[in-house]
Amino acid sequence: MVSLSLLALASVAAATPLKMKRTITSSLLSDLDLFAQYSAAAYCTGNIDSATTGDQITCSADNCPLVEDASAVTLDEFDLTASYGDVAGFIAADSTNEVLVVSFRGTDDLENWIADLDVGQTAVDSLCTKCSVHSGFWSAWETVADTIIAKVEAAITTYPDYSVVFTGHSYGAALAAIGATVMRNAGYEITLYNYGQPRIGNMPLADYITDQSMGSNYRVTHTDDIVPKLPPKLLGFHHYSPEYWITSGNDVTVTTSDVTEVTGVDSTDGNAGTSGDSITAHRWYFIYISECD
């Protein structure tokens, strides 16, 4: 059962300065759609459980047709045990779009994950000055960091002309954000596409990710999705900018007029300014994103 105290805290909003809203281009819309499908593909067991490489990515729920049409193949598939929660996903090469994609799977049991959500933070000055990260997310990342970093670096060496994208949905989005931040610090240009991401750390971390120069951030939210509202701001958690807020409902084709770019750390012009706390909205990002789960 969803924690009532967390829901109450999540509903508290405060005005935020230096914010702006604008619509997006059709090109960006296509990219947001594509990487939502890569995030969806990480929920499909067949894409994360093989010891071999070169498997073509497929989705049994038919919710990643763009990925399938690109004939993307896995370079590595992982399902690793961490203290906070398993870290699963894949590293893929997409020769059609000339991109390497690191996709992290979201949580298996959303309702229980929300109810049991840890709200502690761990100081991580090695990441950025005065930065603190959600303790559970950081612990999960640290468990697998060396393995994933080494494999991503190997993929970059093999495909030096490809761009690199980190992506994920929900808990997977939190891991993607941390991983992208770490890789950027190591000198790699990483573009981040995240869907329904919870808050991952304190204000210095949010400011730092917002200002990182080695890649762009596309943090996507949907209407009144509850997960981006957690953990609450009142407990010291904050979101980086910008946000791309989808305002259309579930099971609806998303158009450029349905997505608003909201700039400004902790802006309430997007998801954070809504009064609802929807789990249903969390499951729809261009497609039913966790359908293979």
Q: Which two tokens stand for residue 281?
A: 């909205």
Q: Which two tokens stand for residue 151?
A: 């494999």
Q: Could you give the CA distance from residue 272 to residue 266 in angstroms, rounded to a whole number?
A: 8
- Is position 225 annotated as part of the catalytic site? yes
* Residue 127 falls in which region: left (phi positive, over 0), alpha (psi -120 to 50) or beta: alpha
CB 95 within 8 A of CB 74: no
Query: What are the strands, taking DSSP E only, across the chain?
Result: 20-23, 73-80, 87-94, 99-104, 121-123, 132-134, 163-169, 191-195, 217-222, 243-246, 259-263, 284-285, 287-288
How many Cα neighbours within 13 Å face the side chain of 114? 25
Catalytically annotated residue among 239, 282, 290, 293:
282
CB 122 within 8 A of CB 185: no
CB 13 within 8 A of CB 229: no
Catalytically annotated residue among 224, 225, 266, 293:
225
Catalytically annotated residue among 170, 241, 267, 290:
170
- Taking each helix axis from N to C end, the angle separating 171-185 and 135-158, rounded to the nearest 10 degrees, works out to 60
Q: Which positions ≥6 away from 120 have C-beta within 8 Å?
A: 134, 135, 136
- Is position 282 annotated as part of the catalytic site? yes
Active-site residue set: 170, 225, 282
